[in-house]
Amino acid sequence: MCAWQVRLLPLSPTHSYAIPALSCNQISLRRELSIADNITGTQHSPRVPFIAAELAMTFPRLFSFVLSLLALPAVAAAASNATPMPATDHIKTLVLGSGCFWGAEKGYAALPGVVDAVSGYADGRKVEVNYEAISSFEHKRDPDNYAEVVEVRYNSAVLSTRALLEHFFEEHDPTQKNRQGNDVGTQYRSLILYSDDEQRDAAMAARADYQKLLSAAGYGAIVTDIKPLEKFHPAEEYHQDYLVKNPHGYCPNHATGVRFAPEKPGEIRAVDNAALLKGEHIVVLEAEHCPYCARFKKDVTDDYAGSVPLSFRDASELDGLTLKTPTWATPTVYFLKDGKEVAGHQGYMNAAEFYAALGQFKLGKGQAYEVAFGKGTDRRFCRRYDEFKDTPDGVFIDKLSGAPLFDTRDRFNSGTGWLSFTRSVAGATVDVADHSYGMERIEVVSKSSGIHLGHVFDDGPNGQPRYCINATVLEFRPRVK
């Protein structure tokens, strides 16, 4: 009796699915799929990769059926992501040649921040693109031959380009031309094929720095070529994950032993997240050179003073947190409860979007949320009113943003069962015409968060206005003397 086992292995801990079953003659199948998630109304970019592995070669119809099911999310993602997400995408691709690609691929795949590593061929012409032709005696000395390379896709917010290049130089001998040890031929040349100017500049700098270290150690000149990538050709399937499938396979290491400085750029920094493991928190994932992060700070967080603590982290500083939303885009906002993600949002959020998400997280679906976002009204003499009607000297603040809204010095007892003030803090609220329920009223809205606060009338004491305000959308802060 033959049985099946189908397992989808995520390239990050973000997603995992399993279809339990059995075993036959199994193969390793590499397949990338685009998926889209909908987390609290957020559409994620369809670039999260998966590998479908260990699928038996028999029963081809079931094989095709499973793959067709896996392809469905890609169709939905493509349709729903026509508009680019306002975020900085940190997934980059760098193609590296350092001799036999089997061991190199395994080394790259083990680096934190690497999304995928694929063996293949690049930088050739006039030669048939397959292993047999490239390895033939006819082409071993051919300068137009393809090189054995590894296409490395990585999250540059976790693993910097510089750190990846340092690994590249340290794990082979870049002074050997067209060979690595006993592997001789133009297909084994040392090679960096970049995709953007940042990678080119990082490669040039890393090569120059490593040359100084090699020269001091008695080695000759580096012969690594640095070129723009024209096209990458994936190698035959049996080359992919070769040392995973053949643990005792050929894996020579021709490293010089010369290392860069111990404190490498991109090295993970130790950050204490203990405080984030208790209670409610907002964590904003940011990165260097992220214009959307700077814009989010300017438009939203620079003025945030809410009671839910807000912290900033980069992708290497998330240890101990349980997150669902991927980390490849910045900014990404995580709403945490006891260190676990309750909701997440990838990409830039304006103030209205941020406070709408925070409102769902902090207020839930109770009375306060209905007042803040549904323009509801507290019950007269509600419990919160009783708590706030006779507080000590201080200010009432926006329950979400923490911005001061009303001062106890302007409070008076109107007898209506709602908090009443003769004015709001200067510049803290906005008056909006309200024609609901067939009435002509003036709605009072928080300028910082946009939430509904109540209404203002012209029947206050001594001809002053009466701000009739819902207590459930406020918090009280005693005055600091």
What distance lies between CA 134 and its chain's CA centroid? 38
Torsion of CA 37, 43, 46, 48, to 10 degrees: -50
Q: Do 342 and 364 contact (CB within 8 A), yes or no?
A: no
Among 268, 64, 278, 94, smallest CA distance to 169 is for: 94
Helix (H, G, I), strand (E, B) or coil at 475: strand
Measured in degrees and rounded to the nearest 5, phi and psi for residue 9 equal -105, 115
Helix (H, G, I), strand (E, B) or coil at 228: strand
Peptide bond into 478 cis (omega under 30): no
Task: Compute how many other C-beta atoms are within 10 angstroms of the C-beta atom of residue 253.
Answer: 13
Which residues sit opposite 183 in a β-bridge? 180
| 54 backbone φψ class: left, alpha, beta (φ>0; ψ -120 to 50) | left
Choose the catalytic residue: 100, 290, 293, 468: 100
Q: Do 406 and 475 contact (CB within 8 A), yes or no?
A: no
**8-state DSSP, 322:** B
Structure tokens at 416: 């209506």
Structure tokens at 265: 């750029």
Q: Do 233 and 129 contact (CB within 8 A), yes or no?
A: yes
Q: Do 470 and 446 contact (CB within 8 A), yes or no?
A: no
Residue with the two structure tokens 């670039």: 47
Among 50, 58, 4, smallest CA distance to 30 is for: 50
Task: Compute how many other C-beta atoms are within 10 angstroms of the C-beta atom of residue 284.
Answer: 21
Strands 38-39 and 26-27: unpaired
- Give the DSSP per-residue string, 145-181: SPEEEEEEEEETTTS-HHHHHHHHHHTS-TTSTTEET
Torsion of CA 124, 127, 131, 132, to 10 degrees: -160
Give the whole-angstrom CA distance, residue 339 versus residue 330: 20
On the CB side of 236, CA atoms within 13 Å amount to 7
Burial 435-460 (b: 16+ CB within 10 A, else e): eeeeeebebbbbbbbbbbbbbbeeeb
Q: In the annotation, is 24 catalytic? A: no
Catalytic residues: 100
